[in-house]
Structure 1
Amino acid sequence: MSRLTHPDHGVATILLAGGKGTRLHDLTATESKPAVPFAGRNRIVDFAMANVVRSGLDKLLVATQFAPATLNHHLPARWGRHFAPGALLLQDGRDRYLGTADAVRHNWQQVRDWQADQVLVLAADHIYDMDYTGLIAAHRASGAAVTVAVDVVPRAQASGFGVMQADDSGRIASFLEKPANPPAIPGEPDRAMVSMGIYVFDRAWLEGALFGPDIESLDFGHEVIPAAVAQGLAMAYRLPAGPTGLPYWRDVGTLDALRQAHLDFVAGQPARLPHISPASEWYLGRGSVMMPGAAVPPSARLTCAIVAPGTRVPHGLVAGEDPDEDARWFRREGRTVLITQAMLDRRDALRIPAILPARQGVALHPRDVA
């Protein structure tokens, strides 16, 4: 796939990086979801950034919102050298943005200043492998108002996404944002086509949608994309296979999904992307990973665990084998156990008073002294 190498190829890229990521619980208590560490010194946002750089896109505005401090430092430090001065911009939207489309509306003057013909809108909180040049070329060829990048997932998992159906030409016939009963792909009853949260818009059409009489357009999934579908102006673009021969895109919105994406990375899918660190010291074995600043002694036995940043695991700790015991001290969702320093401190504080009476001959339940 050819890169968009001309210095002014008419595309303004806006990366939406303000998500709080509440389903990651303690990991996003004080950190935005795009800034959560992933696979060593990388952060979730780095996958979208690596895709932007590999695609030759040279105008990028990053719209931050929740807890932006880490991104404000990380993005210029790690990615600034890939952009000309003034071409990588960070805009803090705390207490301003009311939705994904509203974030773009607040930053529309920059799109005008860049004199862009198309606007590429990206989500910063997914792990995926994609060259955007194919998506942009398909959009230009179609003449559509918007082209939506899509992937296929099991229908049972599709209710957390925008779900669509398209005709043989790729024109989107219906779009439902997070439906309780997702429609299946015709002829494939167990699979659904879902939005990746990646859109290419015709600039003039999007400007009309954002600033026209319907100024309630605050969100792409709920309002803007359905409006384009209703006008017959929305196209779907299927995520192509990556270097491994398969497409790869993961929404790491839950602890289980985040841990599984780490394991995929260990296995080499997605393939090592340019500018993504291949360091593997974060992988503990037994399906467990640790984040930067954490320390896990060899005597600990952790299964399907995520060890949060800065956590000091004590010698001999066993986690991930007994769901009831895990639930006493840690956060367990699905198969994944999240271990933080605050959880370990609470565990120590509650267990020590229980152990002391045993030294005076008071019998205790074996689980209390494990």
Structure 2
Amino acid sequence: MQPCPSHAIPAQQTVATILLAGGKGTRLHDLTAAESKPAVPFAGRNRIVDFAMANVVRSGLDKLLVATQFAPATLNEHLPVRWGRHFDGGALMLRDGRDRYLGTADAVRHNWRQVQDWGADHVLVLAADHIYDMDYAALIAAHRASGAAVTVAVDVVPVATASGFGVMHTDAGGKIVSFLEKPANPPAIPGEPDRAMVSMGVYVFDRGWLEGALFGEDVESLDFGHEVIPAAVAQGLAMAYRLPDGPAGRPYWRDVGTLDALRQSHLDFLRDQPARLPSLSPVADWYLGRGSVMMPGALVPASARLTCTIVAPGAKVPQGLVTGEDPDEDGRWFRREGRTVLVTQAMLDRRETMRSPIIPAKRAHHARDVA
């Protein structure tokens, strides 16, 4: 896939892009027990991180540092092979932050020397664990035109679900006047009482302002959502950029932090392909029907009847298995959250062991003596 940005980035201005890819993703449970959230498989042999990477390439950005932390081995192998050809030598860097990064902003602080070496005028900070389609060049152009110190990309979600995000409130011109991180009672958009504006975890900073925020007197700023962005809002220097419509004719962004959200994003991708990933695996490779998907290395026989189920990598489903129909039976053997059932090989092994008839040793000897 060749970059095809819709907004040219001026050659005389340099953007350093930092992709934060160290998240553990604990709400995905067994899928991230030994794997980082950005490395979780998605739609065949793609990975969640590939959405952000595809956006970077299509936006014409050519200087990228990936900050890894939890379980980085898969990303260290996957990213250079899948994406390295789109970057000149040395322009795609992976930095392992195990036992060093204390937060999202701290990860950028630890890698600030590379921002300086690139001579960047602006710093684009991205989360690596969301499913979305976005032209970052358009975001950067809007940021430059606004004169703000930071521009935060935002999407609109129902108020009922907004408490899991950073929620923005803006004035008529788009300036952020308040920012609340995961509030219990999220404020609605003025004139839209059922909807709220939430942070996508995508930020553009003027380099000078961000340097001051990271290395000024208040060097305890470790996290963008909790400290850096609220500081910019308090100074009146933060703007919101609303995610435009994507290929499906509407904005699409999803934080796949839960099993339900991950499975639903697969189904959305099947219907709309919200992000145009290159070399997408054929649908038959991963879609099972009945709202169910399987991940690489899984085997599912035709006799199985799986509903609203994720089959984890490498899981070998037995003949005739039924899931997603009886919540009590699902919960006995597998992990069920919301409507989604997760099936792993370890769960299948436990189910097989506990369902197999076992004759206690003493009873078996007694039976032989009687005979």
Q: Secondary structure at the match of 2:27?
A: helix
Q: What residue number does 2:276 align with?
A: 273
1:333 aligns with 2:330: no
1:167-316 equivalences in 2 (<5 Å): 167-270=171-274, 273-280=276-283, 281-316=285-320
In the TM superposition, residue 244 of structure 1 has moved relative to its aligned partner by: 1.7
Percent identity between the two aligned chains: 81
Q: What residue number does 1:145 align with?
A: 149
CA contact (8 A) 1:283 1:289 kept: yes
1:324-363 equivalences in 2 (<5 Å): 324-353=328-357
Say if 1:3 and 1:275 are closer, same or farther in 2 by CA, change over 3 A.
farther
In the TM superposition, residue 275 of structure 1 has moved relative to its aligned partner by: 1.9
TM score, norm. by length of structure 2: 0.94
CA contact (8 A) 2:170 2:177 kept: yes
In the TM superposition, residue 168 of structure 1 has moved relative to its aligned partner by: 1.0
Give, in whole Å, the separation in 1 of the partners of 2:311 and 2:102: 33
Aligned length, in residue pairs: 357
Q: Secondary structure at the match of 1:353?
A: coil
Deviation string for 1:143-168 (max 9, x for gaps)? 10100000000001011110010011
Give, in whole Å, the separation in 2 of the partners of 1:89 and 1:184: 40
In the TM superposition, residue 142 of structure 1 has moved relative to its aligned partner by: 0.8
Structure 2 stretches of 5 or more lacking a match? 365-371
Give, in whole Å, the separation in 2 of the partners of 1:355 and 1:64: 50
Deviation string for 1:46-89 (max 9, x for gaps)? 00000000000000000000000000000000000000000000
Q: Secondary structure at the match of 1:267?
A: helix
1:320 aligns with 2:324: yes
CA contact (8 A) 1:155 1:190 kept: yes
Q: What residue number does 1:129 align with?
A: 133
CA contact (8 A) 1:125 1:251 kept: yes
Give, in whole Å, the separation in 2 of the partners of 1:355 and 1:197: 56
CA contact (8 A) 2:6 2:135 kept: no
Match of 1:50 among 54, 59, 65: 54
TM score, norm. by length of structure 1: 0.94
Deviation string for 1:167-191 (max 9, x for gaps)? 1110000000111111111121111
Give, in whole Å, the separation in 2 of the partners of 1:4 and 1:24: 38
Q: CA RMSD in A?
A: 1.6
